[in-house]
Structure 1
């Protein structure tokens, strides 16, 4: 083959060492298959070079082909792990709840919502409802009612999927229960000062039962 190449290009062909080097490279890439031939007397004859069809050629090794991609995935994985660690540090359990929240309420809510922020949000709804019905200074006095309201919420969550915003639903339950108490006490009060009632819109209304027209 080398002789034919040199004759074709008038002695300006390739050297034997270059030819062997390219043959080895083509073999490693799967382009060629080399068959060693023997003569009848057992001596080695010229090798047979067979060009492989394209589908039979093996692609480059997976390690070399996907090495950059694996590096990118590694960086992405490390970033995700870092973000998860940051999120884990931010979340606080029920032991970090403010001491303004009654322990009885915390001990109940923690079984369903263990993070401190959520527990305090539920208690904040209690404070808002209590302020509307003049119970903000005595929220602890109606603690039993508040606990019953939360249990009612959990029962609703377990029995149906219609509750989209549990905290808002809980606020509605507490508001209705406190409203019943407020209306009941409205006719039993014996103080001379008017009673004020905060509407849901924020408007304050006063009721002076001593000077009201019958």
Structure 2
């Protein structure tokens, strides 16, 4: 990824707006705040503040962020900031992208906050029934270094012994049957299915013209793209955040197409 100004990384944002970002951060803090030391929380809050121009995205240098803490009378070290980042990445709160300068040298990182997902859902995020996937891939939102091997659809899940595990037949009736049946071919877990559908509901909240059928078609199309990328070897640290980004891009393209057609109609008139 090439280095650039913050506007260049707008497409990485996982949030509708700043309010949506803040709401997600509040939910994250309920789960993970106690995992950070006082100094690490200072570093995390500073990173959050620097992620306001583009909701949930920051490309400031670590030294800039550390200096901002000092200027606010909250002195922390660079090592504290880096320790905070390691924890945030482990919990799935932040994804860090490396960038390069034009000469190929490494530039400062881009920090992308992820949408909130409950611990139980992301802990069980393994793919079932994909016989043609020959390589393992990362789907855990809480252990970026651990890869989960694919299991055959007829093989009981590793999570069956977990009392919190329930298969797709327990999915809420609010989730369309067609969508549930498609997802269960890969993730036979009601929590994961409902979490994917929640992403669609959030993303299409203001698209009042979309029918349930339209939303299902959008969701399945986005999932097919994600699964295809996984099959091609794409490493994904947060399946829900990645799915959110795909849906967002698809809706943006649709909006641009509608706008273009409207302008053409105006010119003809």
> When the two structures are superposed, what TM-score results if normalisation uses the length of structure 2?
0.35
Which of the pair has the greater relative contact order for Cα pairs under 8 Å at 6+ separation? 2
> When the two structures are superposed, what TM-score results if normalisation uses the length of structure 1?
0.43
Tell which structure's C-alpha radius of gyration is larger. 1
